[in-house]
């Protein structure tokens, strides 16, 4: 058993002894690429979304030095046509680049040290094959393949950590990408590798708008293609786990759902779901994988329009983002779109491929965003977040004067997204002002009623004793008209199953006097 080559199936064996959600159907997708021009695959997704687990699963399946049948015979892949054909059939190399990044931290010659370490391990497995001192890793693997008549599968976990952690060490990233290009893109690659699988957070870096390894088929948080179901937990999988642990899914959905990943429009953070189930408590587990400073660093770049977009997303909105210009290099962040694209890859934003928009996916990530904003120089935004809780409390106690004044203050703050000149833009202002409400409510803007639409409807989350709230906005019209309109149009269908207290609120704006008025009726 080697350290990198023929290392066995112990990692996946350990995973199968714990709670395991079957993602083995992914193996069929990779099997279909073996020994074809599509044999090089790069799957990038954010931390704690199962990258390493998938890599360990693939290694256990392909590695010819062990017998892994018992690990897969009860999984989905066992029923698929390529299962027997490829099970434990290849000499397989597994490289965890994060281990090298830690071991050789800051070392300018890390790329050479990586090659030397793996060559030494391969030499122990194949001691009878003569190697020249001048050989690099590709030369060594070519000699082994030529003598044994067997080609390798190579799996690289966290492939991009060298690019991220050594970004300020001159030349390292370029030498590293050159090493990968020599192995996987050169003319000898097909003679050495039957398949290559890499995981990471960032897609492969672009040079002059073209990928340095454009022979790789890439699957990312932005474009997961056929691998979308394997990027997180689906609603069906979460329901299965919730049933097993005898818990409801509502809190899990509020905290960890919300990722639109390709055709899968409702995906959960798998790491946080499992921790919540095991610890019997929903909360933010995100800080253990990457603190809010990462978000703060990027949003403080404060490119034009970024502040407004962050506010809109905190209020539950979606914003357009052009993801195509980002070069997949965290050192090169040059505009608002680059910032949003980085945050999508890091898992702080969910991306809708069809609409080209992004949004904050759930309560867990929203907490990190709010912490990040409070850690920036955006004093007016921080004040808005703090005032939002006070506004919510005033609404609960039906303090009409305070609510009107708070909305007016929000309108006059020096934040461009909060200026308005009609009911639609008033709705946007209101959603921003009630940002804090998302802690207690599911919020709907422009929600259908019996005879029209309610401007803002807040329905308490399960286990909350707070009242539901229906808000109607009026521009240059009496506030009493707003309350009357709610009664005339009937309540939204979303409230039909709700049996708790209800507040009806009308808010009007007098453009000439530039003042707000509020009426709140308790039902």
CATH number of the domain enclosing 182: 3.40.50
Residues 368 and 401 in one domain: no
For the ranges 41-55, 338-352, 465-479, the lowest mean pLDDT is seen at: 465-479
Residues 14 and 70 in one domain: yes
Alpha helices in 68-165 (DSSP H): 69-72, 83-86, 97-103, 110-125, 137-148, 161-165
How much is the average pLDDT of 497-516?
Answer: 83
Nearest to 349 by CA among 338, 55, 158: 338
How much is the average pLDDT of 71-92?
Answer: 96
Residues 369 and 405 in one domain: no
Residue 5: inside a domain, yes or no? no
Give strand pairing partners of 267.
259
Phi first, then psi, for residue 272 (nearest 5°) are: -70, -35
Residue 522 CB contacts under 8 Å (≥ 6 apart), including other chains:
398, 467, 501, 502, 503
Residues 31 and 162 in one domain: yes
Buried b / exposed e across 489-511, counting CB within 10 Å, b at 16+? bebbebbeeeeeeebbbbbbbee
Residues 192 and 60 in one domain: yes
Q: Which residue has the higher pLDDT, 491 or 352?
A: 352
Q: Identify the domain containing residue 79 by its residue range.
A: 10-219
Residue 67: inside a domain, yes or no? yes
Quote the pTM value: 0.85
Q: Are 423 and 473 in contact (CB under 8 A)?
A: yes
Residue 394: inside a domain, yes or no? yes
Residue 237: inside a domain, yes or no? no
Residues 163 and 38 in one domain: yes
Residues 368 and 390 in one domain: no
pLDDT at 224 over 90: yes
Domain boundary (376, 405, 439) is at: 376
Q: How confident is the model at residue 210, as a pLDDT?
A: 54
At 207 the three-state DSSP class reads strand
Domain boundary (351, 376, 401) is at: 376
Q: Are 471 and 455 in contact (CB under 8 A)?
A: yes
Q: How confident is the model at residue 257, as a pLDDT?
A: 95
Residues 190 and 333 in one domain: no
When the pLDDT of each residue in the chain is averaged and rounded to a whole number, the result is: 87
Residues 22 and 153 in one domain: yes
Residue 512: inside a domain, yes or no? yes
Q: How confident is the model at residue 291, as a pLDDT?
A: 47
> How far from chain centre, in Å, is Cα 457?
28
Residue 29: inside a domain, yes or no? yes
Residues 274 and 305 in one domain: yes
Query: What is the number of structural domains in the chain?
Result: 3
Residues 87 and 211 in one domain: yes
* Sole residue written with tokens 């979308």: 228
Pairing of strands 40-44, 193-200: parallel
Residue 461: inside a domain, yes or no? yes
Q: What is the pLDDT of residues 378-432, one digit of tens each?
A: 776 777 777 888 999 999 999 999 999 988 887 766 444 444 555 566 677 777 7
Nearest to 412 by CA among 391, 431, 384: 384
Domain boundary (376, 396, 422) is at: 376
For the ranges 240-254, 259-273, 476-490, the lowest mean pLDDT is seen at: 476-490
How long, in residues, is the chain? 523
Q: Which residue has the higher pLDDT, 251 or 450?
A: 251
Give strand pairing partners of 93.
5, 154
Residue 233: inside a domain, yes or no? no
Residues 160 and 295 in one domain: no
Q: What is the pLDDT of residues 152-205, one digit of tens each?
A: 999 999 999 988 888 778 888 889 988 999 999 878 899 999 999 999 998 887
How would residue 299 be classed by pLDDT, with cut points 50, 70 and 90? confident
Question: In CATH, what number is assigned to the domain containing residue 467?
Answer: 3.40.1350
pLDDT at 450 over 50: no
Q: How confident is the model at residue 341, as a pLDDT?
A: 94
């Amino acid at each position: 058993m080697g350290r990198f080559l023929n290392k066995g199936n112990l990692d996946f064996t350990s995973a199968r002894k714990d709670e395991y959600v079957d993602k083995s159907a992914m193996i069929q997708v990779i099997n279909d690429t073996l020994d074809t021009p599509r044999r090089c695959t790069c799957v990038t997704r954010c931390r704690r979304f199962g990258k390493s687990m998938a890599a360990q699963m693939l290694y256990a399946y392909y590695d010819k030095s062990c017998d892994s049948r018992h690990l897969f015979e009860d999984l989905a892949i066992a029923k698929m046509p390529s299962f027997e054909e490829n099970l434990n059939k290849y000499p397989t190399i597994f490289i965890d680049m994060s281990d090298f990044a830690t071991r050789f931290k800051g070392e300018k010659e890390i790329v050479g040290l990586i090659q030397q370490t793996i060559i030494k391990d391969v030499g122990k497995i194949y001691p009878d094959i003569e190697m020249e001192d001048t050989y690099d890793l590709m030369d060594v693997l070519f000699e082994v393949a030529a003598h044994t008549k067997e080609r390798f599968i190579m799996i690289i976990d966290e492939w991009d950590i060298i690019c991220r952690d050594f970004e300020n060490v001159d030349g390292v990233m370029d030498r590293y990408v050159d090493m990968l290009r020599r192995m996987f893109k050169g003319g000898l690659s097909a003679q050495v590798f039957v398949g290559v699988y890499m995981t990471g957070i960032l897609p492969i870096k672009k040079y002059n708008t073209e990928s340095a390894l454009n022979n790789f088929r890439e699957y990312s948080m932005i474009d997961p293609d056929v691998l979308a179901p394997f990027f997180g937990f689906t609603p069906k999988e979460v329901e299965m786990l919730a049933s097993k642990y005898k818990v409801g899914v509502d809190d899990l959905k509020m905290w960890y759902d919300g990722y639109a990943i390709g055709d899968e429009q409702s995906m959960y953070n798998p790491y946080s779901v499992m921790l919540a189930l095991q610890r019997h408590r929903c909360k933010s587990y995100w800080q253990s994988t990457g603190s809010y400073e990462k978000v703060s660093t990027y949003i403080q770049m404060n490119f034009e329009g970024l502040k407004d977009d962050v506010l809109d997303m905190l209020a539950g909105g979606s914003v357009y983002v052009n993801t195509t210009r980002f070069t997949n290099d965290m050192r090169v962040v040059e505009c608002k779109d680059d910032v949003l694209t980085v945050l999508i890859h890091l898992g702080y934003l969910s991306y809708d491929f069809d609409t080209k928009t992004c949004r904050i996916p759930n309560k867990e990530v929203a907490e990190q965003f709010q912490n990040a904003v409070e850690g920036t120089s955006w004093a007016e935004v921080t004040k808005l977040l703090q005032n939002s809780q006070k506004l919510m409390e005033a609404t609960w106690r039906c303090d009409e004067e305070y609510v009107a004044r708070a909305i007016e203050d929000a309108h006059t703050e020096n934040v461009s997204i909060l200026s308005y000149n009609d009911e639609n833009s008033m709705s946007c202002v209101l959603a921003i002002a009630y940002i804090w409400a998302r802690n207690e409510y599911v919020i709907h803007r422009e929600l259908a009623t019996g005879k029209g639409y309610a401007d803002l409807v807040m329905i308490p989350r399960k286990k909350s004793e707070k009242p539901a709230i229906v808000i109607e906005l009026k521009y240059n019209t009496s506030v009493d008209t707003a309350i009357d309109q709610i009664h005339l149009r009937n309540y939204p269908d979303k409230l039909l199953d709700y049996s708790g207290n209800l507040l009806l609120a009308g808010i009007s704006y007098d453009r000439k006097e530039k003042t707000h008025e509020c009426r709140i009726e308790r039902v």
